[in-house]
Amino acid sequence: MRPQILFPLFADIDTLKGVGPRVRPALSKIAGPLVRDVAFTLPHNLVQRRRMTAASAIEGEVGVFEIQIDQHIPNRKPGQPYKVRGFDDTGWVHLVYFKTYGDSLLKSLPVGARRVISGKVERYGSEVQIPHPDYAVLPEKASDLPLIEAVYPAGGGLSSRQVRRFALEALAQTPALPEWQDPAWRARQGWSGWRDALEAAHHPQTMADLEPAAPARRRLAFDEMLAHQLALAQRKRARRRLAAPVITPGPLSAALEAALPFDLTGAQTRAVSEIRADLTSGARMGRLLQGDVGSGKTAVALLAMASAIDSGFQAALMAPTEILARQHHTNLAPLFADVGIDCVLLVGRDKGAARLRALSGLADGSTPVVVGTHALFQEAVTFANLGLAIVDEQHRFGVAQRNQLQAKAGSGEGGAHLLTMSATPIPRTLELTQYGDLDVSRLDEKPPGRQPITTSALPMDRMEAVLERLGQVIQTGAQAYWICPLVAENVEVDLASAEARAVALKARFGDRVGLVHGQMPGAEREGVMAAFAANELSLLVATTVVEVGVDVPNATIMIIEQAERFGLAQLHQLRGRVGRGSGKSACVLLYDPPLTQVAQARLEVVRSTEDGFLIAEQDWAMRGGGDPLGLRQAGLPAYRFADPVAHRDLLLAAADDARLQLARDPDFSSERGRALWVLGELFDWKPDRAERAD
């Protein structure tokens, strides 16, 4: 049950004065449906006013003038402003209106009256102007005009001042809450109490008070992230208490590892050991295997699946695209076949007898391994005894989709273990934000013998030189990719299209140029990819459909046209399609100048390093990750106060604090534990109530 002290904050916003049927939808869209949401809506800007005269007016600043209205100057032509001229003891001040009718201004600003005016000062020649003053009040009400005014979000017919009034009323209904922060930590940070911090955040005095580094904002951010980390840590704890089959490696695992044509790297060996420890624990595994392109995640997944088969269970590997699923099946099926294990492929367009045989084998247990796409979690697919579910490129699946696959486990010995894989390296702080409820294994080494990829960034006017060099390389028998941002030309978007580029390159290099993109029929796309993999094509023109899962060791050239249009992680993933063999490889980033500052920074990062984890850190700083407690997959978690990039030090501290709390007081029964329970309820990122002892 929600603590009674929070009841005022969880009241509907229509309990705020002035929030009726007309205002409620707009305020709910800006802030949310609860009084708490309005109280948590902070100002994003600040108006700082200074008292001025016509003679001392400073252009660009917001001034406060006391003037006497002298004359109204109507607009003579459409588009011209309506002006009201006033004066003080030092000169003239002109009030400029573009969308206000004269009658209303004649009434509110009558000639001869004195008014206190506020607005941003502009100069038109020698004339002091204030376009659309934000205040025009009687002199006796000048004290009501704030010299410092916080600016709140606006929209839906609500002005910033209206939202500010509602926010301050919601703040007035916000109670002081029990202190949940560790006293020593709070003292070191020099922070006030939570209620005082919220008050200070609503009453900034300088622009610095709006920054993430402001003490009040940092206090609120830490509290929000602490609630989040407590929920993630509690969810991990609850998951570890769920039963799952005990899976141990046996002869099949040993045989497959011995049959690998390479030795495992140290990182792969560590990851296999960590996964096997989870599988033998009897508790449900939830582990993320992350590694850079070419770091060997598939080999680790192979050995994990072998352990499941050794123990009499089935294993399923789900990929987000048919291309990637077929690539996995092509690589894994022969290895399993060598030890007498049937590995089937199941994708959405499979029909007829082949599909029925695959479904039958999974249902009766005669097929121990399946590789597939979204087709795996469809209702028609049943497993006799699924023990391990592996999800590749996990960020391309929704949370519900991953859960659907895991839920297909037989109920006899608990749910299936879950291993998710990502070829996008993830910064430590993002791991905590997005995957705080998972254990993480990192593959931070590449297999020996891989050559570095030479990366260069060139303007589009160097394309002829690039084409000349490309022709020379193709003549040696090497293969290349050419990536475009669009499938087809679009008159509304000035971007290169793969179809047009393929026509131009075929005219130059002949029929050994292929085209592949996501809008092609699956069978046609697969045929082109197979021809490229078989070296029947020298050059593959494509969109980002080849971003993941394409493994052609003979391809050594990657050309990305209009590279400034791609994200940082996307550029790194595309570059990872080459450099997969023992030969030297190159990546050319063609760009349209002039570059924006952000685009230039992206290209420089890719050009200067192949370290996927460093690139991921930079990419995260520019973009964001996902909502680990909900179903959102794009952008950072829906924080109200926290910025996981600017507050990354607080995120790490909050994660440590959450782990310590669960170790010392797992049922939240201590004085601090009860306060933390209030914190969790406050942010709706509370631990599972079933886990708490009342």
Q: What span, in angstroms and rounded, lies between the C-alpha atoms of 631 and 420?
A: 16
**Residue 692: pLDDT above 50?**
no
> Has residue 76 been placed in a domain?
yes
pLDDT tens column, 115-148 = 999 999 999 988 999 999 999 999 999 988 999 9
Provide the 8-state DSSP code for 630.
Answer: S
Please say whether the beta carbons of 105 and 94 come within 8 A. no
Same domain, 603 and 495: yes
Q: Are residues 495 and 591 in the same domain?
A: yes
pLDDT score for 486: 86
Domain boundary among 407, 425, 443: 443
Please count the CA atoms within 13 angstroms of the CA of 120 that sit on its side-chain side.
Answer: 7
Q: Is the pLDDT of residue 400 over 70?
A: no
Amino acid, single-letter form, for residue 118: S
Is the pLDDT assigned to residue 691 strictly greater than 50?
A: no
Handedness of CA 402, 404, 405, 410 (dihedral sign): positive
Please tell me the predicted confidence (pLDDT) of residue 348: 79
What DSSP character marks residue 313? -
Total domains present in the chain: 5
Please indicate, yes or no, if residue 624 is contained in any of the structural domains.
Answer: no
CA dihedral 542→545→550→552, nearest 10 degrees, is 0
71, 116, 644 from 88: Cα distances, Å: 13, 11, 50
pLDDT of residue 397: 59
Q: How far apart are CA 523 and CA 502, in angstroms?
A: 19
d(CA 408, CA 382): 7
Confidence bin at 412 (pLDDT 50/70/90): very low
Same domain membership, residue 405 and residue 375: yes
Residues 470, 602, single domain; the answer is yes
Q: Same domain for 145 and 290?
A: no
Task: Check which CATH number belongs to the domain holding 583 and give it.
Answer: 3.40.50.300
Among 609, 628, 661, give the residue marking a domain's end: 609
Q: Give the separation between CA 262 and CA 255, rounded to whole angstroms.
A: 14
Range of the domain at 105: 47-151
* Claim to verify: residue 285 and residue 400 sit in the same structural domain: yes
Q: What is the pLDDT of residues 69-105, one digit of tens each?
A: 999 999 888 888 999 999 999 999 999 998 766 788 9
pLDDT computed for residue 389 by the predictor: 93
**231-246 pLDDT per residue, tens:** 888 888 888 888 889 9
Whether the pTM exceeds 0.85: the reply is no
* Cα–Cα nearest to 219, from 199, 239, 241, 244: 199
* Final residue belonging to a domain, choices 443, 475, 498: 443
From 287, 295, 292, 294, select the one nearest 265 (Cα to Cα): 295
pLDDT on residue 311: 95
φ and ψ of 448, to 5 deg? -65, 150
Mean pLDDT value across residues 613-633: 60
**What average pLDDT does this structure show over 272-278?**
97
Write the DSSP symbol of residue 559. Answer: E
Looking at the fold, whether 548 and 473 belong to one and the same domain comes out as yes
Q: What are phi and psi of 5, to 5 degrees?
A: -60, -20
